[in-house]
Amino acid sequence: MKIITVSREFGSGGREVGKRLADEMGIAYYDKEILTAISEKIKMDADYIQKKLESGFSHTIPLTFGRTINSIGQRMDVVNMMIEQQKVIKGIAEKGEDFVIVGRNADIILKNYHPFNIFVYADIKSRIERSMGRNEAENLSEKELVKYIKQIDSNRRKSRELISNTKWGEKSNYDLCINTSDVTIKTIIPCIADYIKATSGGKK
Amino acid sequence: MKIITVSREFGSGGREVGKRLADEMGIAYYDKEILTAISEKIKMDADYIQKKLESGFSHTIPLTFGRTINSIGQRMDVVNMMIEQQKVIKGIAEKGEDFVIVGRNADIILKNYHPFNIFVYADIKSRIERSMGRNEAENLSEKELVKYIKQIDSNRRKSRELISNTKWGEKSNYDLCINTSDVTIKTIIPCIADYIKATSGGKK
């Protein structure tokens, strides 16, 4: 059984790497299905869950006394969502089939399965270019987009720190770190698939 | 023209990666030839030069007044060797042929040639195992070996800082970072060669 996790900087094309890699290797790819499963479990809208999980705790810090109770409630929502997400991800792994999963701290959550962990990163120029086409970036100036990119990365870093004492993006936590600046992602997918196959014999 | 630089943590198998990669791609590999060229230029023994370049400035800090002059002399030696090394490396690149070069801050020295930069790293357990067979590690206890590994890495970090404001081992400075813990190096070489070929179209 082989699990491949893809962690990534926002705008680095990590999701594309994950999706194409699963296609190349002919194995399952988990993404929106995870949100749907959480949504069914906690009876909340999947889009809302996605937004809350992405923003982490950054928008739920109480600023005034009047907002405190509401904020605590919101934070509890995020905590519940994260717990459910962990259960869903572990449930997928328990099926015993090969799969690729992007983000969601899956490398930590599934560490007992010894997944192959990839980190995808790129320079800020490439990340701006790759983000431009996204819905959430549509009405942002370049300056606002850079701020947004850094905010999302910061949320990812924090949500990892919550469940692990290892650092998000620190190369020692990954088997392979891929710089996608000026790289056409589809051209590197077969090499990455071969790399994973080549090392799987030696991996514990 | 393609230049591939391999930077590496001590004991991670980076030299093996470089050597095998050059063989796989059928291109030149530069290592001892660089020392020989420096040796001819500054009329010093190649082994002595290698030792001095590896130790960097760490053994040449004056501890007492009596040792100061000698230490300054030694430091000048290292500086001269580094300058000559840079000239030799640039000279190789000027020939216009493809090659692989390991260490020596070649990624910085040759940055105008837009080399493909690899960083090889591994966990400390693997690095101890890989270092055990080396001459310089022969009479060291495991504790001493760990200290030695960290010292060499620290020297590499410092010698990079001397000529660049970017950090040694920081993934954003490399195109591909490879974790060789529990990996049989020869199995990954064809994949790395394919990866370099696949990205070379997109690279500036």
| Angle A107-B193-A106 from CA coordinates, rounded to 5° | 5
pLDDT at residue A66 tops 70:
no
pLDDT band at A97 (very low <50, low <70, confident <90, very high): very high
Under 8 Å CB-to-CB from A159, ≥6 apart: which residues? A53, A56, A82, A105
Whole-angstrom Cα distance, residue A163 to residue A182?
Answer: 33
| Angle B45-B50-B53 from CA coordinates, rounded to 5° | 120
Q: What is the pLDDT of residue A99?
A: 96
pLDDT band at A51 (very low <50, low <70, confident <90, very high): confident
pLDDT at residue A202 tops 50:
no
In tens, the pLDDT along B12-49 reads 999 999 999 999 999 999 988 888 888 888 888 888 88
Q: What is the DSSP letter of A118?
A: E
From chain B, pick out residues whose CB is under 8 angstroms from the CB of A182.
Answer: 199, 202-204
Asked if A9 and A118 touch (Cβ cutoff 8 Å), the reply is no
The residues of chain B scoring below 50 in pLDDT are: 60-69, 202-204
CA-CA distances (angstroms) from residue B19 to A57, B13, B30, B123?
48, 10, 9, 21
Looking at per-residue pLDDT, the higher value among B136 and A164 belongs to A164
B123 in contact with A, Cβ within 8 Å: yes
Looking at per-residue pLDDT, the higher value among B115 and A41 belongs to B115
Residues B198, A187: C-beta atoms closer than 8 Å: yes
When scoring A116, A126, A182, A197 by the number of chain B Cβ atoms within 10 A, the one with the most, hence best to mutate, is: A182
Looking at per-residue pLDDT, the higher value among A14 and B134 belongs to A14
Whole-angstrom Cα distance, residue B131 to residue A46?
Answer: 51
3-state secondary structure of A56: coil
Residues A179, B183: C-beta atoms closer than 8 Å: no
Can you read off the two tokens belonging to residue B23?
């063989």
Q: What is the pLDDT of residue A74?
A: 60
pLDDT at residue A201 tops 70:
no
Q: What percent of chain A has pLDDT over 90?
A: 60
B194 in contact with A, Cβ within 8 Å: yes
Can you read off the two tokens belonging to residue B39?
């040796």
Closest CB to A187: pick one of B123, B183, B199.
B199
Tell me whether strands A176-179 and A116-121 are parallel, antiparallel or unpaired.
parallel
For B9, which residue in chain A has the nearest alpha carbon?
A172
Could you give the count of Cα atoms lying within 13 Å of B133 in the half-sphere of its Cβ? 7
Residues B194, A198: C-beta atoms closer than 8 Å: no
pTM comes to 0.89
Amino acid identity for residue A55 in this structure: S
Residues B121, A169: C-beta atoms closer than 8 Å: no
Q: What is the pLDDT of residue B124?
A: 96
A44 in contact with B, Cβ within 8 Å: no
Region of residue B9 (phi > 0: left; psi between -120 and 50: alpha; otherwise: beta): beta
Could you give the count of Cα atoms lying within 13 Å of B43 in the half-sphere of its Cβ? 0
List, edge to edge, every strand of the sheet that includes B3-8. A28-30, A99-102, A3-8, A116-121, A176-179, B176-179, B116-121, B3-8, B99-102, B28-30
Q: Tokens 């690095």 correspond to what residue?
A: B127
Q: What is the pLDDT of residue A64?
A: 46
DSSP letters spanning B162-196: HH-SSPTT-GGG-SEEEE-TT--HHHHHHHHHHHH
Residues A190, B192: C-beta atoms closer than 8 Å: no
Asked if A195 and B185 touch (Cβ cutoff 8 Å), the reply is no
Q: What is the pLDDT of residue A43?
A: 86
When scoring B20, B127, B179, B185 by the number of chain A Cβ atoms within 10 A, the one with the most, hence best to mutate, is: B179
Residues B195, A198: C-beta atoms closer than 8 Å: no
pLDDT band at A76 (very low <50, low <70, confident <90, very high): low
Whole-angstrom Cα distance, residue B199 to residue B204?
Answer: 10
Can you read off the two tokens belonging to residue A29?
């790819």
Torsion (CA) A70, A54, A49, A95 in degrees, nearest 10: -140
A121 in contact with B, Cβ within 8 Å: yes
Amino acid identity for residue B117 in this structure: N
Longest dimension (CA), chain A: 58
Q: What is the pLDDT of residue A185?
A: 96
Q: What is the pLDDT of residue A90?
A: 95
Q: What is the pLDDT of residue A204?
A: 41
